[in-house]
Amino acid sequence: MGQASLLRPLQQLGEGLQRFVRVPELRVACVEASAQMRGPALTVVQAMAHLADCRSPLLVVEFDQAGDSDVAWEAATDELRRVHGVLRAAGGPLAPLAERPLRAQGSASFAAQALQCIGTVRAPAEGLFVVIVSTSAAPDVMWLRRLAEIIRSPRLTAARFVVVVSTSDEVATWIGTLDAGSFLHIPCVVDERAALAEEEAEITAEEELGVGFRGAWPSGVMPPPRPWLAAPKPAGPAVSPPTTGERRPAAAPAAAAPANHAARLRIAIRRASLALRKGDGPEAVRQQAMARDICVEAGQIREAITMELVLGAYLAQLGQPPLAITTFGQAAERAQSIEAHDLAAQAHLAAASTHDRSGAAPAALASFRNGIMAARDADEVALVFQGYWEAGQVAVRLDLEVDCIALWGDAFAYAQTLDASRLRGTLAKEVISELARILARQRRYSEAREVERAAAALELPS
């Protein structure tokens, strides 16, 4: 994605916050950010404290729990006290806080704590900015309503609020309930159409001018040679070099080949991604296949396999599971031919997941077994247990508990050959715990207890 399309909403957010700081009649600024822009938007909001016109301390509170629950409001109250203490310890113009408001009051506790924070502000500062960040993908309607009640409270007129939420219809409705002239709505969303156009222009510029160039070549300057273009211009009349008394070193055309492959690969990958975002599936597949072929042509087989895995993922995303499975199979064969067992495992597991989503459970189990064996050959412990876990889930879903016991029994035996430290970050504990449960459900209690004792002896990390 082009930089300008990303910077534009952040620039508009910065300008909106500057206006918000300068106009005291505005009580709340609602920043509606997409998931892509959420992190950068929070950075810009926090930088509001450094504006020359900002004379109020700024406290940022995140609501980690979704919904209008007393637990969420009480946790936010504790967080408000914490950030107040951090800012005061850093030299902020704040006096110490009094005792915490009584618990089990929900939003009333938060409002009382905000009022207490206002009373701690010391000259030359005045007022308080409270930034409320909702981490929920879709803010709860009742939570928004409670928040509006807090904002309207006549006891909190010295506080002004910046509310950062995800884009949703509920937010637009909520904004309409606020008092006219008291709020500022600042969307922070990338214009997808403009971003696609910008991305396409950048790719075209790189094709015409070379990798890294995103604009026009300077007037009067000859651009560098571009041998990767599909239709090179015919050579013009020979021009004798000027006589300067110096001899120029001969060019080294052989060294340009790797750079040409890299340039063509970069452009093909970018065009495939762009086509997928535009909904042009055939073009995305064509460009990604071209990227794979460029790697094969350059002798970069591992990179070619990676490109083929991406191609299979594109086909699966585009609703072509048979073609995706064939592509994953080709990637696995190519990986086995160079003994790249890690890539072969990824290909087999991707094919297994695609089989499973297509309703072909027996084929999925076969691919899972191939992926597990390849991952074991590659000594990729995390991939091994991922394969065992997903294959077992398929078997359980089909009521093939005997097959599941066989699979997870192999996983248990494999885990016993490894040091416990190598099992950290894997699904080993989940696999072995579920194995014990299934054995108990099958009334094989002695075996279940044996598995539980052995698992405890392994000291599996949580």
In a domain, 312, yes or no: no
Terminal CA-to-CA distance of the chain, rounded, Å?
39
CATH code where residue 158 lies = 3.40.50.300
State the pLDDT at residue 329: 96
Q: Is residue 142 part of a domain?
A: yes
Look-up of token digits 């715990």: 433
The pLDDT score that the predictor gives to residue 460 is 58
**Dist. CA 103–CA 350, nearest whole Å:** 50
448 in helix, strand or coil?
helix
| 146 lies in some domain | yes
Residue 370 CA to residue 351 CA, distance in Å, equals: 10
Which amino acid, residue 37?
Answer: M
Rounded CA-CA distance 167/423 in Å is: 40
**Rounded to whole angstroms, how far apart are CA atoms 273 and 281?**
10
Contacts 24+ apart (CB under 8 A), 312-318: 312/347, 312/350, 312/351, 312/354, 313/350, 314/272, 314/276, 314/281, 314/284, 314/285, 314/288, 315/285, 316/350, 316/354, 316/357, 317/276, 318/281, 318/284, 318/285
Q: Is residue 72 part of a domain?
A: yes
Contacts of residue 130, Cβ cutoff 8 Å, sequence gap at least 6: 59, 61, 80, 114, 117, 159, 160, 161, 162
DSSP 8-state secondary structure symbol assigned to residue 418? S
Query: Is 213 part of a structural domain of the chain?
Result: no
Helices (H) and strands (E) in the chain, counts: 17, 5
**How much is the pLDDT for 247?**
46
- Ramachandran area for residue 216 (φ above 0: left; ψ -120 to 50: alpha; else beta): beta
| Residue 156 placed within a domain | yes
Task: Give the Cα separation of 272 and 276 in Å (integer).
Answer: 6
- Helix extents (H) in 210-320: 256-277, 281-297, 301-317
Look at the chain and report how many structural domains it folds into.
Answer: 1
Q: Residue 246's pLDDT is what?
A: 47
Residue 373 maps to a domain: no
Residue of 328, 394, 389, 387 lying closest to 357 (CA atoms) = 394
- pLDDT value for 338: 94
pLDDT in tens, 131-160: 999 888 778 888 888 889 999 999 999 999
For residue 178, is it within any domain? Answer: yes
Which residue stretches of the chain have pLDDT < 70? 1-2, 65-67, 104, 210-259, 458-462
Q: Tell me the residue range of the domain where 101 lies.
A: 3-190
- Cβ burial of 3 (10 Å; 0-12, 13-18, 19+) is exposed
Do 266 and 206 meet the contact criterion of CB atoms below 8 Å apart? yes
Q: How many CB atoms lie within 10 A of CB 152?
A: 15
pLDDT of residue 421: 86
The residues, ordered by sequence, that sit 6+ positions from 105 with a Cβ below 8 Å of its Cβ are: 70, 112
